[in-house]
Amino acid sequence: MTAATAGRIGPNAITRVAEVLPALLGEAGTRALFDAAGLGGHLRQPPEGMVDEAEVAQLHRVLRQQLGPAVAGQVARSAGMRTANYLLARRIPRPVQWLLKCLPAVLAARLLLQAISRHAWTFAGSGRFQARAGRPCVLTIHDNPLCRGVASNRPACDFYCATFERLFQVLVHPAVQVVETHCEARGDPVCRFELRW
């Protein structure tokens, strides 16, 4: 992570939430929620570049406050799946996808984790991301910006879980499941994700 990218996250963590909410809250309810998060401008003109991680954290905090943890988790999961679909359609080159799908799952997972680690600054912001290949693959985010100031009795990183799960199901093995075993929002020292198939 460089100084220029510290504390910034890709816009999908905002724009995909904006795509999911109208089916649940309607256009007016979506506007009200974004306004409550202080992000009404992002709804009117979706961000195209990196955004301040504090804005993303605030949106996900307001989701939990206004919708409750279960529904907010469903919204975040849907947004995470849409984020993965966006990455598959526009960011991960087709030849790379083809290669990963042809490889044995363990090797494909190792290569995909290397690529994710190189681009972790786009989703972990100022947090520190680490990945370990194996069975299971283990991903961790230390000082996760989406968990700062959040207290929850359940893991709160549904957005990340869904994004990782969808990418690995498409590119590594269709049976991949991601479980967040530790979460800073729950008081754990790190957010930890296990990927199993």
pLDDT value of residue 36: 98
Q: Is residue 163 part of a domain?
A: yes
- 36-50 residue pLDDT tens: 999 999 999 999 999
Q: What is the C-alpha separation between 88 and 101, in angstroms, rounded?
A: 13
Q: Which helix (H) or strand (E) holds 16?
A: helix 12-36
In a domain, 124, yes or no: yes
Q: Are strands 191-196 and 137-142 parallel, antiparallel or unpaired?
A: antiparallel
Apex 14 CA angle, 11 and 15, nearest 5 = 80
Helix axes 158-171, 94-102, angle to 10 degrees: 70
Q: Average model confidence (pLDDT) for the chain?
A: 96
**Residue 3 counted as domain residue:** no
Q: What's residue 18's pLDDT?
A: 98
Q: Is residue 2 part of a domain?
A: no
**For 6-33, what is each residue's pLDDT tens digit?**
599 999 999 999 999 999 999 999 999 9
The domain containing residue 140 runs over which residues?
8-196
Residue 189 lies in a domain: yes
Ranges under pLDDT 70 in the chain: 1-6
Alpha-carbon gap, residue 74 to 89, rounded angstroms: 23
Q: 174 is written with which tokens?
A: 């269709």
- Number of structural domains (the chain) is 1
What was the pLDDT predicted at 34?
98
Residue 1 lies in a domain: no
What is the per-residue pLDDT for 6? 59
Q: What CATH number is associated with residue 72?
A: 3.90.1520.10
193 forms bridges with which residues in the sheet?
Answer: 139, 180
Amino acid at 13: A
pTM of the entire predicted model: 0.95
57's tokens: 């954290």
